[in-house]
Amino acid sequence: MPASSPLSPVPLLSLYRGMVRIRSFEDAAEVASQGGVAAWGKEASAQPALVRGPLHLSTGQEAVAAGVCAHLKAADLLTSTHRGHGHTLAKGADPTKMMCELFGRASGYNGGKGGSMHIADFSVGMLGANGVVAAGLPIAVGAAQGLKMRGVDAIAVCFFGDGAINRGPFMEALNWAMVYQLPVLFVCEDNRISATTDSRAMTAGPGASARAAALGIAALQVDGTDVQAVSQAAGELIREIRAGSGPRLLHALTDRHKGHVSVDPGLYRDPAAVAAALARDGIGRARAQLVEQGQTAEVERIEREARAEIDAAVATATAAPPPDPGAAYTDIQNTGAGVWA
Amino acid sequence: MSAALQLTYAQAAALALSQAMDADPTVLALGEDLGRGGVFGQYRDAEGQPLVQRFGPDRVIDTPISESTIVGAAVGMALAGCRPVVELRVVDFALCAIDEVVNQAAKNRYMFGGQGRVPMVLRMPIGIWSASAAQHSQSLEAWFAHIPGLVVVAPATPADNHGLLLAALASGDPVVYMEHKELWPTTGDVTPGAVVPLGQARVARAGGDVTLVSWSRQLHTCLAAAEQLAGQGVNAEVIDLRTLWPWDKDTVLASVAKTGRLLVVHEAIQVAGFGAEIAATVAEHTDAKVARLGAPRIPVGYAASLEAEARIDAGKVTAAVQRLLRR
C-alpha cells in the first residue's frame, strides 16, 4: 500500500469488542487474585488465591492495546511490559490458555512457569510480558532487525510505560532503531504513574514523544483513552513503518484505574484524579457513542460474548491441573540438560 | 575436514565464525568496533581482512556503545530466527548488560515455558592484561556459572577457541564465551571445522601425584608449574576444564581417584570462585585432599607491583602443590 493512500478506519464496534474482552479478562483475573499475596499490611489469605502472584492490571488502558493491535498481522512481533494481558489478548492469544497461565496451570501458555508477569504467546508473535521495566525495548529493536535481516515482511511493536523512559535501555533502543532504520513502533502507555509514585515528579521534560523527537524519530501524541484516536494514529504510523520509514513512536496518555498490583488499593492517589479517570473511561465513552448510533443490540451482544468467553476461561483454568514438579527441570538449556547441581 | 593451519587464538575464532556464517545465513555478529575487525582484531581473517568485507554490515554489525541493547537486541534477533554472536569487548563491560544476560537471555526459554529459544554466543573476554587496572581485568566466570540457562566456556588454546566456538554456535543455548585477552596472539595448530564438544575436559598432561584443574590462561601456568614440579620429583596431572558449565566431573573425579590430591587454579578471585565448586564437589565424592588457588580478594591494581599481587604465576602454583603434598 503506498504511503499516500487513505487509511480506512477500523470500525468502532470492532475496537469496542477488543476493549471489552480485555476489561472482562482483567476483571475476572482481579477477582481471582484477591488474597493471593501479602501486601499493604494485609496478609495473604489462608486459602490460596487462584492467581497467587503479583497481578498488574491494565484496566483503564484497554484502548491503547486494542487501537494499536487492530493494525497488526500475525507475523508482526510484539514485546510488552509487566502489565501485558491486554497486549497479549489483542495480539490474538487465547484467553483460556492465558487464564490457565495466571492460575499456574500446566495448560497455560508457559506451562505455569511464567504467570501474569511473563504472559506470552509466541505463536501469534507476542514475545512476552517482562518483569523488568524497559527490558522489552532492546528485544523489540533486535526482533525488528532480525526480521529485516531475514527479509521478512513484518514489523515489531514495543509497549512500555512512562516509567520506562527514565531507564537507559529506552534511549539506547530508540537510538539503535534510528541508526539502523528499523521497522519498529514504540508505544508509550503514559498513565503518569511509575509503580506507586507520580512520574511527573521524577521526569524531566514533556516525556516520551519529546525524547523521540530529539533523536529524529517522528512521534504522535494521542488521548490514549480514545480508542478511535489511538487506532487512527497507530494506523498512520504503522503504515509509514511498513512503507520503510524507519521507527515511529506513539505516545498515548492513558489511565490506570487500579493500583500497581491487584491487591494495591492505591490509597496514595488523589481521589479526585482517580474519579476523573473513571469518568473518562474509554470503554464507557465508546459504548455511549455506539448506543447513540443505534447499535445497542450489537454492544450488548459483544458484552455478553466477552463475559461468556472469560467465564469459560476461568472455569477451565480452575479445573486444570498444576504442572508436574518434574517440569521445574525442563526448558532450561540443551547443553548439560539433566545436570542441575 | 581440512589440514591443520597455524593460527593465532584470535584467528582461530574468526575462522570458526566465518565457517558458521558461510554455513548458516542466520548467523550474524554484533558489537562495538566490529566494522574494523574488532578491538583485538578477533573479527579479521588470517589475511587480516575484517569479516565485514566478506559478509557485509548487516551481518557483521558495528554497534553504538549500548551494551544493554547489544545483548537485548541479540535476544530479539534470536527470537526472530537469527543466531547472533555478541561481542562485549571485555567481561567488565558485560556488567552494563547484566539484566539482558541474566534476566532476558538466560531466562527466556524457561519463563515462557519453552515457547522460544535464544541461541547466541556472548563473547566476554576475561583476564589481566597489559596494565589495564580494575575495570578491564576481571575474570567473572563464576558469576555466569551460577545462572541456570547459561553455558560457560573458557578456551585455553587456538584449537579450542576454534572448536569450542563452533560447538557454542551449534548448541542452541545462550553461551557465555570467555576468551582470555592475553591469549589473542598465542599460536597453535587448528584443524578447520574440528568441533570441540562442550562439557568435555582435556587431560593436558598426564601424571599420578596430584591433579591440577584449570582453564583459560591459567592452564599454561599450570603446565609450566608441572615442569617445575617434575624437577622436584612430583608428577602432576593437568586438566583443562574448557567448559565451566556444564563441567566435566567425570574426568576430574577419575583423575583425583588416581592422584588423591586436587588443586584448582584460576585467575579469578579465590573467594566464591568456581574453584570452590570443584573442590567441594571432589570433597563430597572422594577422600582426596583438596585445595584452591585464586587471586586474593583485591581489585587489580595498575602499577606492576600491585598487578603482580593479583596474578597467579607458576611459582605460586608450585608452592601451593607443595603445601598440599605436606598436608
Q: What domains can you pick out in chain B, each with its CATH number?
A: 5-190 (3.40.50.970), 202-326 (3.40.50.920)
Q: Which three cell numbers stand for residue B167?
A: 560447538
The grid coordinates of residue A277 equal 479517570
Distance to chain B for A154, nearest Cα, Å:
11
User: What average pLDDT does chain B have?
Assistant: 97
* A114 vs B113, B172, B173: nearest CB: B113
Residue with C-alpha cell 574468526? B14
- For chain B, positions 221-250, list CB contacts with chain A under 8 A: 245-246
Predicted pLDDT of residue A6: 62
Across the interface, whether the CB atoms of B69 and A176 are under 8 A apart is answered yes
Average confidence (pLDDT) over B200-211: 98
Residues 276-315 of B with CB under 8 A from A: none
CA neighbor of B242 nearest in space, from B286, B205, B305, B199: B199
Which residues in chain B have their CB less than 8 angstroms from residue A97's CB?
A: none
Catalytic residue among B136, B162, B220, B266: B136
* Closest chain B C-alpha to A334 CA, distance in angstroms: 6
- The reported pLDDT for the residue numbered B213 is 98
Question: Cβ distance A84 to A134 under 8 Å?
Answer: no
Distance from CA of B17 to the nearest CA of A (A): 18
What pLDDT was estimated at residue B260? 98
The mean pLDDT value for B40-61 works out to 96
Cell, residue B171: 548448541
What would the pLDDT profile of B222-277 be if each residue is shown by its tens digit? 999 999 999 999 999 999 999 999 999 999 999 999 999 999 999 999 999 999 99
8 Å CB contact between A281 and A225: yes
Residues of chain A with pLDDT under 70: 1-6, 40
Q: Which residues contact A200 (CB under 8 A, 6 or more apart)?
A: A192
Residue A43: predicted pLDDT: 77
B28 at A interface, C-beta within 8 A? yes
Cβ of B112 and A128 within 8 Å?
Answer: yes
What is the β-pairing status of strands B261-269 and A197-198?
unpaired
Q: Which of residues 152-181 of A touch B (CB under 8 A)?
A: 152, 156, 168-169, 172-173, 175-176, 179-180
Exposed / middle / buried, residue B19 (Cβ in 10 Å: 0-12, 13-18, 19+)? middle
CB contact at 8 A, B206 and B106: no
H-helix segments, A57-167 = 62-69, 85-90, 95-102, 136-149
Q: What grid cell was written down for A182?
A: 528499523
Higher pLDDT, B130 or B136: B136
Rounded Cα distance, A283 and A296, in Å: 14
Q: Which of A116, A172, A182 to mutate to test the interface with B (most CBs of B within 10 A)?
A: A172
B136 is catalytic: yes
How much is the pLDDT for A47? 78
The pLDDT-based confidence of B54 (bands split at 50, 70, 90) is very high
Place of cell 512512562: A162
- Give backbone dihedrals phi and psi of B207, rounded to 5 degrees, phi first: -170, 165
B193: contact with A, CB 8 A cutoff: no
* Amino acid B263: pLDDT: 98
pLDDT for the residue B130: 86
**CA–CA gap between residue A186 and residue A310 (Å, rounded):** 29
- Identify the three-state secondary structure at position A209: helix
E-only strand ranges, B54-114: 60-62, 83-87
Task: Output the pLDDT for position A5.
Answer: 57
Alpha carbon A296 to its chain centroid, in Å, reads 28
Which residues make Cβ contacts (< 8 Å) with residue A283, sequence separation at least 6?
A16, A19, A20, A23, A62, A63
**pTM score:** 0.96
Write down all domains in chain A, each with its CATH number in brackets: 12-37+45-196+205-317 (3.40.50.970)
Interface test with B, best of A333, A339, A340 (most B CBs within 10 A): A333
Minimum-distance CB partner of B110 among A109, A332, A339: A332
Among B253, B265, B255, B254, smallest CA distance to B210 is for: B255
